[in-house]
Amino acid sequence: MNKIKYRAWNNETNTYKNNVFLSDDGLNLMYFEDAKIFVSPLLTETYTIEQYSGFDDKSGIPIFENDIINLKYHYGEGTDDIENVVKKVAFKNGSFSFENGTIFEFKQKPFSSMEIIGNANENPELLD
């Protein structure tokens, strides 16, 4: 079973809050800072919530929505054609996918070569 984890991008301060929790009613964001628990109303104009995909990159770093990953894409059996591609992780239609022009659905065991190289909030230039 995958762990449910979130992080929150603060659109006002342009910073992340990691290891955040959502209240049972989904109206509040909770996080720890300086050994204290903070509760903040979950205002969508202030925070963008990003969910853990359930997968880690090749270095064991958790992959979240809006992460930008580099991966080696193999074009199928019987061919040696491999392309290095950069994709953004998205959550669409109930599943995680790679988004950057084309959408690729995560499979049970995604590419073992995935490496997080940034995220869409802090490094949008990586998607150019």
pLDDT band for position 16 (50/70/90)?
very high
Long-range contact set of residues 20-25: C-beta below 8 Å, sequence gap at least 24 = 20/49, 22/49
Q: Residue 53 has what pLDDT? A: 87
User: What is the domain range of residue 113?
Assistant: 62-128
Domain count within the chain:
2
Q: Are residues 91 and 32 in the same domain?
A: no
Q: Which two tokens stand for residue 18?
A: 């990691």
Residues 6+ apart with CB under 8 A from 88: 66, 67, 68, 69, 98, 99, 100, 120, 127
Q: pLDDT by residue (tens digit) across 19-39?
A: 899 888 888 889 888 888 888
Q: Are residues 125 and 92 in the same domain?
A: yes
CA distance 52 to 72: 21
pLDDT band for position 98 (50/70/90)?
confident
Q: Are residues 91 and 123 in the same domain?
A: yes
* Residue 32 resides in a domain: yes
User: Domain of 123: which CATH number?
Assistant: 2.30.30.290
Q: Strand 115-119 to strand 67-74: parallel, antiparallel, or no bridges (unpaired)?
A: antiparallel
* Residue 57 resides in a domain: no
Average pLDDT, the chain: 83
pTM: 0.81
